[in-house]
Amino acid sequence: MSGCIAVRSDYDSSSLRALARKVRDPRQIRRLLALAAVYDGKSREEAATIGCMDRQTLRDWVHRFNDEGPDGLGNRHGGGRKSLLSDDQKRELASIVETGPDPATDGVVRWRRIDLVAVIEERFGVTYKERTISDLLKELGFSHISGRPKHPGQDARVMEAFKKTSPTRSALT
């Protein structure tokens, strides 16, 4: 049977509780409070219950706390899958989206995700799913909100002639 793991001595329960009041991540707060309970002399089982974890998980967090301090108790997000497009290809895609489609060659008046899937596959030889295009566009700094598309056959003179020209309210009195 292994012995208890010693917790680093440069912190105490009151300093961990003070840190827990400043932190905004609820999971990191639970971990800090569980370690504060360890410093208070509670059993590892009780401390793990306070942190909503089991003893083995608490043990793992103690190791990380000993190595990295309170910052080590925060969540780490994995890097995720590597992008299928290179940085140059992403810049080219951003310019394609920014300039918009050419109705004569692209056959559309505004880019939809399904259209961008086809453009990416044609130009870069990479297949994306339609849902992933939204994430890619967000990464490139584009919003899902777009301006209303302009019909290619729209004539400004016809639109101006069609506008209603009612007299102003003050002219009626």
Q: Is 30 exposed, middle or buried (0-12, 13-18, 19+ CB in 10 A)?
A: middle
Element (H, E) at 64: helix 55-68
Q: Which long-range contacts (CB under 8 A, 24 or more apart) does 69-75 make?
A: 69/8, 69/11, 70/11, 70/16, 70/19, 70/32, 73/28, 73/31, 73/32, 73/35, 74/25, 74/28, 75/25, 75/27, 75/28
DSSP code, position 131: H
User: Minimal CA–CA distance to 106: which of 86, 140, 114, 134?
Assistant: 114
Q: Supply the pLDDT for residue 87.
A: 94
The token pair that represents 15 in the structure block: 């300093």
Q: Supply the pLDDT for residue 38.
A: 93
Q: What pTM was estimated for this model as a whole?
A: 0.50
Q: Supply the pLDDT for residue 3.
A: 59
Q: Supply the pLDDT for residue 1.
A: 37
DSSP code, position 163: S
User: Residue-wise pLDDT tens for the chain (173 aa)?
Assistant: 355 788 898 999 999 999 999 999 999 999 999 999 999 999 999 999 999 999 999 999 999 999 999 999 998 887 788 889 999 999 999 999 999 999 898 889 889 999 999 999 999 999 999 999 999 999 999 887 766 777 778 888 888 888 877 777 776 66
Q: Supply the pLDDT for residue 169.
A: 72
Element (H, E) at 39: helix 26-39
Domain regions of the chain by residue span: 13-73, 87-146
Give 60's Cβ-side CA count (13 Å radius): 7
DSSP code, position 65: H
